[in-house]
Amino acid sequence: MVLKRGFYLICGLCSLFLGLLGIPLPILPTVPFILLAAFCFARSSERLHLWLMNHPWFSEALNDWDKKRAIRKGLKRKAYIVSGLSFAVSITIVPLIWVKVMLLCFAIGLGLYLRQIPELED
């Protein structure tokens, strides 16, 4: 049990770090990492989970997801734009064709996933 909680705590802290890095870096997505951090903290540290769920930057989106399994229309639009730009830049810079194809497949998969998430009015 202690090992499992420690694993979730480390994964949650790494996800939070990557999510925070994603705020200024357009190639790194913020929302999936913050959602993963909330998931991991819920299983490892009640204090960190409560802190994240009440944080002024993330609380609204996390609570919408937690209670309604939906995200606001504006946040979804931002996710489309930032993800699309990130994948476009990555596909442009990568020299290997098979990596370009893989990135394009991931971009399409992410777009389809985002499309199926229910929306809330802003």
Over residues 58-72, the mean pLDDT reads 90
Q: How confident is the model at residue 79 (pLDDT cuts 50, 70, 90)?
A: confident
Over residues 65-83, the mean pLDDT reads 89
Q: What is the reported pLDDT for 26?
A: 66
Over residues 34-44, the mean pLDDT reads 94
Q: What is the reported pLDDT for 11?
A: 96
DSSP per residue, the chain: -HHHHHHHHHHHHHHHHHHHHTTT-TTS-SHHHHHHHHHHHHTT-HHHHHHHHT-TTTHHHHHHHHHHS-EEHHHHHHHHHHHHHHHHHHHHH---HHHHHHHHHHHHHHHHHHHHS-EE--
% pLDDT > 90, the chain: 58
Asked if pLDDT for residue 82 goes beyond 70, the answer is yes
